[in-house]
Structure 1
Amino acid sequence: MKQLDLNLLVIFDAIMREGSVSRAASVLAMTQPAVSNAISRMRVSFGDPVFVKEGRGVVATPFAQSLWQQTRKHLQSLKDAVDPQPFDPVSTRQEFRIGVSDLTVDIYWSKLRQKIEQGAAGVDVLAVPFTLATMENMLLNAEVDFVISQASPTMAPQLRHMHLFDSYYACTMGNHHPLAHKPLLLEDFIKADHLMVSLSGDRQGIVDCMLSDLGLERRVAMTTNHFSVVPKLLRENNLIATLPFGAIFEYTSCGELWVTKPPIDIPIKPVSLIWHERNERNPAHRWLREAIADITQKLKDENPLPKCLLAG
């Protein structure tokens, strides 16, 4: 392929959006012959007919459809970077795709929807599954706008992040449990029946790895593949669970569950909002970053971390 004139991509994008050479010319403030001439140059550069006439409009070839799918988000990002458009959350239609875990959805989604209903009715938020292995490529390839996860010092330099909170592990159980309302000893912890959240059904997690290093083992008596059922299982059964405090803070703050520090030191996990630098100046993206930061602060204020988890 010859050296590509990026102006051709701008004209190509306009024709794809409008489905008409004349309408694209109007949008671009160009003459129709000039746009037709650009199509001729596209055919040479791309090695494909690109557009074929159909009635009064044009139809894109399969190659053109594939090219547009790969380039349109990047073209929009370039436009936003050069000339950011004002964002009015009340009137603007905007879709955000956010890479989140089920726990993140439990923590943020209701509060975020409330904020949208109060003054951003045109905003749609889509939860997108991801893994730590796929997170970086999803952001680099514009498959998602944001990811809420742990930021890595080895992430691509194009990625930006904002610290949201530190995730502490807590050991929790029903108030009726024999181990509740007293210090939790390692010996009692080992002997208890444990509930574990496992997306794969595997009975080995961070707690088991740490116990194994100590030559110890616990009994995982039950697993579940999502966090939302944990409070009910703990309230109604003699199980204990060791999991991020964010999974159960609503139930401990109102006294429905007993929470204490695990008898082993589990590393604290910093959780961040991560995005690509292409959206750094995008007003809509900045609005969502500020909304999530505001929600995070309110959650911290309303649900302070129990002192027992901070104890040395």
Structure 2
Amino acid sequence: MNPVHDLRHIDLNLLVVLDALLAERHISRAAQRLAMTQPAVSHALNRLRDLFADPLLVRVGNEMRLTARAAALAQPLADALAQVRNVVAAGAFEPQRCRRCFRLGISDYGSAVVLPGLVRRLRQIAPGVDLQLSQHSRLETLRQVAEGELDAALGVFPMLAEGLQADVLFQEHFVVLTDRNNLPVTAKLTLDHYLQAPHVHVSVQGMHHSHVDTALAARGLRRRIAVIMPHFTVAAALLAGTDLVLTVAFRAVAGSALPANLIMLEPPLPIPPFDFAAIWRTGVEANPELAWLRGEIRALGG
């Protein structure tokens, strides 16, 4: 029998080290997470490389990247260790005893709208839980969740790849912000005024097209985009004292103190709403820790 297939020949503590290395992709951070010395983790990595006959982590420039074999191991290993912890605990999952770093992909919008409530909740009921957050393009985020590099992601995902599933947290609609001095005495925003005004557009990837532009294009119309920027949270601050117009998701600005002279209006044309969702790998229910986190995130949309 191949030793890798016979648990009698394996130091199972190595799998705990492997889990940390795959999550952190950094020997020093993995050592800190495990309360081990860096040389001890390096030695364990060498043993793991021998065990799996694979480099597992390789240096590319200034970072460590997972090999294809390591990427395939990451999620099944995390799930298996979570089930072992559950067996040892001999009872229901207890959030207050959980010690894990969850890796989430999240957009700027999600960070403003959902993240504060999630962090408050986790600090109250699971103080041993850490979050590692990242922001990437939609396609890259889908890939990272599908391959287990992220535990989950929160954002707008109109289409999902095979092996992923989504929990819709809420449906969002659009509003228009501008300096009230830009409006006529009636304080109404007409479609003509909207099209003539210069617009601020928020796009992580610097792209012009959006839900707004799709709605305009359906009518054979276009707008002039004067400013493209990557952050919802700063966009409104650009408007006061200018002729700029911002069409933005309502929740992105509803909870913030807007400059005194800004006015919030309904768009002068119908713009379809969008679903904000959390996406997960299929089969997440088998991992008690991830199943619990999924329930906490679902509750945010209640």
Structure 1-normalised TM-score?
0.68
CA distance in structure 1 between the partners assigned to 2:235 and 2:83 by the alignment = 44
Which of 244, 252, 255 in structure 1 is aligned with 2:249? 244
| Structure 2 SS opposite 1:248 | helix
Deviation string 1:165-220 (CA, Å, 9 cap, x unpaired) is 11212212244442597332111111222111133444444433443453433222
Deviation string 1:240-274 (CA, Å, 9 cap, x unpaired) is 11122222111489987422221222222112111
Deviation string 1:138-160 (CA, Å, 9 cap, x unpaired) is 2221111111133456531x322
- Is 1:261 aligned to 2:283, yes or no? no
CA distance in structure 1 between the partners assigned to 2:217 and 2:158 by the alignment = 26
For 1:102, the equivalent position in structure 2 comes to 108
- Is 1:74 aligned to 2:79, yes or no? no
- Say if 2:82 and 2:289, in contact at 8 Å, map to a contact too: no
1:119-198 superposed matches below 5 A:
119-152=125-158, 155-156=161-162, 158-178=163-183, 182-198=187-203
Shift of 1:129: 2.1
The letter for the 2-side match of 1:214 is: R
For 2:286, the equivalent position in structure 1 comes to 281
- Is 1:88 aligned to 2:94, yes or no? yes
Would the alpha carbon gap of residues 218 and 153 (structure 1) be closer, same or farther in structure 2, given more than 3 Å must change?
closer
Which of 212, 224, 229 in structure 1 is aligned with 2:229? 224
| Structure 1 SS opposite 2:139 | coil
The letter for the 1-side match of 2:102 is: F
Where structure 1 has 5 or more consecutive residues not aligned to the other structure, the ranges are 20-55, 298-312
Q: Which range moves more in the overlay, 227-236 or 240-249? A: 227-236
Max Rg structure: 1
Shift of 1:289: 2.1
- Say if 1:175 and 1:256, in contact at 8 Å, map to a contact too: yes
- Say if 1:170 and 1:243, in contact at 8 Å, map to a contact too: yes
| Structure 1 SS opposite 2:115 | helix
- Say if 2:201 and 2:208, in contact at 8 Å, map to a contact too: yes
- Say if 2:180 and 2:187, in contact at 8 Å, map to a contact too: no
| Structure 2 SS opposite 1:134 | helix
For 2:37, the equivalent position in structure 1 comes to none
The letter for the 1-side match of 2:14 is: M
CA distance in structure 2 between the partners assigned to 1:187 and 1:287 by the alignment = 50
The share of aligned pairs that are identical, in percent, is 24
Would the alpha carbon gap of residues 4 and 276 (structure 1) be closer, same or farther in structure 2, given more than 3 Å must change?
farther
CA distance in structure 2 between the partners assigned to 1:196 and 1:57 by the alignment = 49
Number of equivalences: 258
CA distance in structure 2 between the partners assigned to 1:222 and 1:153 by the alignment = 28
